[in-house]
Homo-oligomer: A and B are copies of this chain.
Amino acid sequence: MRVPKGSGTGRTISGRPRGRPRRDIDPAAVADAVAELYAEGGFDNVSIGGTAEKLSVSRATLYRTVPTKDDLLGILFERSTRDLFEQASAVTSTGTGPRENLHALIRVHVDAAVRMRRYMTVFYGGAGLPPDVYQRWQDFSRRYEEIWVGAVSAAMDAGVLGRDDPQVVTRLLLGMCIWISRWYRTDDGRTPDDIADSVIRLVSGPGPT
């Protein structure tokens, strides 16, 4: 992650002695704070001041590490995409077969959609995003989709999916998974893995009746 450190003390919020000015900004904590602000009031609600408040640091301290709102979104973006891309890459590089790879990718994406459900649309919408962050999101999306298209093609070759345009099928699958972020509720007893099971069953066809 590309957040310059303000100092080398290495202390976290909880480890910082009371009264001592906080100098280190943990990018993960910034990402969490930005995600919360976004969830509370959308893009307009994300600000340096609000983030500083959530982190219990002064604005001046936060400014030294994260000078602009664009940088705040950049940090959330990095957190959102890096893990997802690494997990997807790991699936296809260590996968055991076309069926298992496809199913594992579905699980990775459903899990991400649920985990990032409160702010996923900030990237997919693009509206109001700093051009730099939007460009990085576009780059990520393209590379991430390439992983999927490869896995979908292999699944078609193996007869796990019916023959079709792999890019269209990839986008249908991704849309189905992304949209889960819109209707997922924590209180209905379904886990992300339960929902991923349903996705997998749905694209596996009805089977013998």
Interface residues of A (CB under 8 A from B): 42, 121, 124-125, 127-128, 159-162, 164-165, 168-169, 171-180, 182-183, 190, 195, 198-199, 201-207, 209
Contacts and interface: CB of A to CB of B under 8 A. Distances in A.
Contacts of A206: 159-162, 204-205
Contacts of A174: 179
Given A125-B121, A206-B159, A198 B180 contact: no
Given A125-B121, A159-B206, A190 B176 contact: no
A124 B125 CA distance: 12
Nearest to A177: B175
A66 to B, nearest CB: 24
Majority DSSP secondary structure for residues of A touching B: helix
Contact of A198 (B165, B202, B209): B165
- Kindly report how many copies of this chain are found in the complex they form together: 2
Contacts of A207: 162, 205
Nearest to A156: B206
7 contacts: A42-B128, A121-B125, A125-B125, A164-B198, A168-B190, A204-B206, A205-B205
B168 A172 contact: no
A171 to B, nearest CB: 5
A175 to B, nearest CB: 3
A205 B180 CA distance: 21
A160 B183 CA distance: 24
Q: Which of A121, A172, A173, A202 has the most CB of B within 10 A?
A: A172
A173 B165 CA distance: 18
